[in-house]
Amino acid sequence: MTDSTLVFTLLGLTLVAFIWGRFRYDLVALAALLAAVLLGLVPAEEAFLGFGHPAVITVAAVLVLSRGFERSGLVDLIAEQTLRVGERLVPQLLVLTGTVLVLSGVMNNVGALALMLPVAIRMAREHDTPPSVLLMPLAFGSLLGGLTTLIGTPPNIIISSYRGSLTGESFGMFSFFPVGAVVAVCGLAFIVLLGWRLVPRRAGSASTEDMFDTAHYLVEMRVPEAANAEGWTLLELGEAVEETLPVLAVVRDDKRHAGHTFRGVLRKGDILLVEAGPDDMKLLEDKAGLEVGPTPDEDDEASEDGASRVDTEGLQLMEAVVRTDSMMVNRTVAQLRLHHQYGLHLVAVARDGGRLNQRLRDIRFRPGDVLLLQGGENELTESLTTLGCLPLAQRELGIGQPRLLLVSLGIFAVAILAMVMDWLPSSVALTAAALVSLLAGVLPLREGYQAIDGPVIVLLGAMIPVGQALETSGGAGLIAESMLALGSGWPVVVTLGGLFLLTTLLSNVVNNAAAALLMAPIAASLAQGFETSLDPFLMVVAISASCAFLTPIGHQSNTLVMGPGGYRFGDYWWLGLPLSLVVMAVTLPMVLWVWPL
């Protein structure tokens, strides 16, 4: 079996694993790298050189700088102004999508979306707008904004580094701007003027408050005399009923104690505010001896189904969405030890715009799930960061510290100047900027490490040698020869269109960085076959790799809005397909004009 055949087989299996989604993409990429080494496609001594590749270092530095912008208050300052847009939907879409588009040009696009997502949800609630109308345009705007600069999205960094390896000169910070900015503006105009009408409106997701209407699920369970539960801790209560039942509060002597902080034992007369359905209530009655209702003489004050009359204000409930790179994915509450290790109570889970009614202990979390959690204010923030969840609850916006804001902007400006003037390579300039930000106190060292997206770094470091194997084995040349044969009787622009479509389809089923890594060698072989400039082919790959508008799995931004927006898998192409065609129609003539053959 030839090396090219082995590479095609390996890449085919890798793509199937990416699409299947059973294992995280970083683990799949690492397995592909090790398989390539065992098959002799990648020399063992070069297996891990990808982790020191300039593209990997640049992506890590950009992630740190993005977190610095967040912490200094720059984005909060912008978001505060965004909320003043008014009640009309079109201006809301223009301001929200336009803001995330601009932010994505100077910071990681997932980070930009994560910062604007709570703002969009708050806006939807205040104006009684279905979040589904705002969130998909917001996600797509974050992808469009990444097209404008070198650091806007990993595919641009990868393509720039690949060009440098072939020609000795990489693309600069603003080399992508002439084409990317026009494409982004045209995409934004399409979304705001027409595209938003194509987004499905999900009736069940007009507000995440509808998904988590706790008034319909909270019940008061009383500890009567001689109950089994008397003398038990809340932990022992959960073990007795063999279920993860969120006890939001324990009321004793008219004083309420938050469930996640209650460490005592239950006494006669205690009232437990419990998140429980009919089956759970039966378990608590049979195994713990609890009774529904506060006291016998107050039963008439409770609803017939046992709904609670206790005020839930101050119970520190927060909504959060599970990121694609979260440690929670495919794991249960017990496996994560949410309560014991992170101090969190899981109250409810929503998926596809609706609340899941199955037992909490049986739920395996998926990317895009919306969680309702209880915990202390400080614990919630820190634990959600560690777990890989994005807070969705309304939060007060602040302007940070003016000194840090000016320092972060100054450090970034100097790094951009060093790149534009060719004083330093982008990887060195941005790494230096990240280091100075940490030393200047813009970002604590711990947060700097947390900002680096480990799965993305592993994906890039592992797939770079595999992508190189596609080229060195002759596989990229074989694909290019096939495309050349098919397009020999047509203008080169037709082949560029085919390259755009192929890369776009690949980007919608695998990570966009992986799509760029795999398609860059094919683009180079096509340019060589046509005996034309390399640049237009690489630019087409860079832009099309970021056009993952058709599925929720093509990009993290799409996955993040799936739960809060209540979208289904097939909802994305309604707006994504026409938007992809608009981007393609604008990209091809602009590339040929700015980067002629």
Residues 64, 58: Cα–Cα separation, whole Å? 10
Q: What is the pLDDT of residue 402?
A: 61
Q: Where are the alpha helices (DSSP H) in 367-453?
A: 377-387, 402-420, 426-439, 445-451
Three-state SS string over 25-68 comes to HHHHHHHHHHHHHHCCCCCHHHCCHHHHCHHHHHHHHHHHHHHH
DSSP H helices, 272-401, are 278-288, 333-336, 338-342, 377-387
Q: What are 266-276's pLDDT values in tens digits?
A: 888 888 888 76
Listed residue (522, 512, 500, 507) closest to 583, CA to CA: 500
pLDDT in tens, 189-219: 999 999 999 998 864 343 445 555 554 456 6
Give me the residues paired with residue 218 across strands.
275
pLDDT digits (tens, 9 = 90+) for 18-48: 777 778 778 888 999 999 999 999 999 988 9
Model confidence at 503: pLDDT above 90: yes
Q: Round the average pLDDT of the chain to a whole number and report it.
A: 81
Residue 139 confidence class, pLDDT cut points 50, 70, 90: very high
- So what's the pLDDT on residue 377? 64
Tens of pLDDT, residue by residue over 551-596, are 887 788 888 887 788 788 788 899 999 999 999 999 999 999 999 9
Encode pLDDT of 517-562 as tens digits: 889 999 998 998 888 999 999 999 999 999 889 888 778 888 888 7
Q: In 73-108, which ranges are continuous DSSP H helix?
A: 74-82, 89-106
Q: Count Cα neighbours of 156 within 13 Å in the Cβ-side half-sphere.
A: 34
* Residue 486 in this model has a pLDDT that exceeds 80: no
Task: Please give, one letter per residue, the 3-state secondary structure of 263-302.
Answer: CCCCCCCCEEEEECCHHHHHHHHHHHCCEECCCHHHHHHC
Query: Residue for token digits 């017990």?
Result: 334
State the pLDDT confidence band at 59, using cuts at 50, 70 and 90.
confident
Is the pLDDT score of 396 beyond 50? no
**Distance separating alpha carbons of residues 354 and 352, to the nearest angstrom:** 6
Write down all domains in the chain, each with its CATH number in brackets: 1-33+40-72+400-466 (no CATH), 212-301 (3.30.70.1450), 317-391 (3.30.70.1450)
Residue type at position 84: R
**Greatest mean pLDDT range, 57-66, 298-307, 588-597:** 588-597
Angstrom distance (rounded) from CA 549 to CA 533: 29
CA distance 229 to 286: 11
Q: Specify the pLDDT at position 30.
A: 92
Share of the chain above pLDDT 90, in %: 22
Residue 175: its pLDDT value, please? 92
- Contact in structure between 443 and 68 (CB atoms under 8 Å): yes
In the block, residue with structure tokens 């192409």: 573
What are the Cα distances from residue 126, in Å, to 77, 120, 156, 471, 547? 19, 10, 37, 53, 31
Report d(CA 311, CA 178) in Å as an integer: 56
235 by Cβ neighbours in 10 Å (0-12 / 13-18 / 19+) ranks as exposed
The pLDDT > 70 percentage for the chain reads 86
Is residue 412 within 8 A of residue 419, CB to CB? The reply is: no
pLDDT score, position 299: 39
CA distance 553 to 558: 7
Contacts of 555 (CB under 8 A, 6+ apart): 139, 143, 507, 511, 512, 548
pLDDT over threshold 70, residue 88: yes
Say if residue 137's pLDDT is above 90.
yes
Range of 131-135, 236-240, 333-337 with top mean pLDDT: 131-135
Task: Specify the pLDDT at position 303.
Answer: 37
Model confidence at 399: pLDDT above 80: no
CB 533 within 8 A of CB 86: no
Of the candidates 532, 453, 469, the one whose C-alpha atom is nearest the C-alpha of residue 495 is 532
C-alpha 1: how far from its chain's center?
40
Sequence-ordered list of residues with C-beta below 8 angstroms from that of 585, at least 6 positions apart, any chain: none
Give the helix, strand, coil percentages of the chain, each rounded to 5.
60, 10, 30
- Neighbouring CB atoms inside 10 A of 316's CB total 18
Task: Say if residues 489 and 534 touch (Cβ distance below 8 Å).
Answer: no
Contact 244, 361 (CB under 8 A): yes
> Does residue 177 surpass a pLDDT of 90?
yes
Instruction: Please name the helix (run of DSSP H) or strand (run of DSSP E) that holds residue 389, with its range, or none.
Output: strand 389-391
Q: Could you tell me the pLDDT band of residue 378, with boundaries at 50, 70 and 90?
A: low
Tokens of 392: 């969705």
> Which pLDDT score, from 0 to 100, does residue 542 have?
95
Three state DSSP letters for 191-246:
HHHCHHHHCCCCHHHCCHHHHCCHHHCEEEEECCCCCCCCCCCHHHHHHHHCCCCC
Least confident of 203-212, 365-374, 421-430, 455-464: 203-212
Give the pLDDT confidence score for residue 308 in this predicted structure.
Answer: 40
Q: Is pLDDT of 395 > 70? A: no
Residue 314 has pLDDT above 80, yes or no: no
Q: Is 44 exposed, middle or buried (0-12, 13-18, 19+ CB in 10 A)?
A: exposed
Residue 14 has pLDDT above 60, yes or no: yes
Distance between CA 332 and CA 363 in Å, rounded?
A: 6
Nearest 5°: CA angle at 18, between 16 and 19? Answer: 65
Lowest mean pLDDT among 107-111, 155-159, 318-322, 458-462: 107-111
Among 201-205, 394-398, 507-511, 532-536, name the one with the lowest average pLDDT.
394-398
DSSP 332: -
What distance in Å separates the CA atoms of residue 80 and residue 76, rounded to the nearest whole number?
A: 6
The 10 Å Cβ neighbour count of residue 340 is 9
CA–CA dist 116, 52 (Å, integer): 32
Angle at 131 between CA 126 and CA 136, to 5 degrees: 140
Q: What single DSSP character describes residue 362?
A: G
Is the pLDDT at 309 greater than 50? The verdict is no
pLDDT at 259 over 60: yes
* Alpha carbons 54 and 318: distance in angstroms, whole number: 39
C-alpha to C-alpha distance for 356 and 348, rounded to whole angstroms: 7
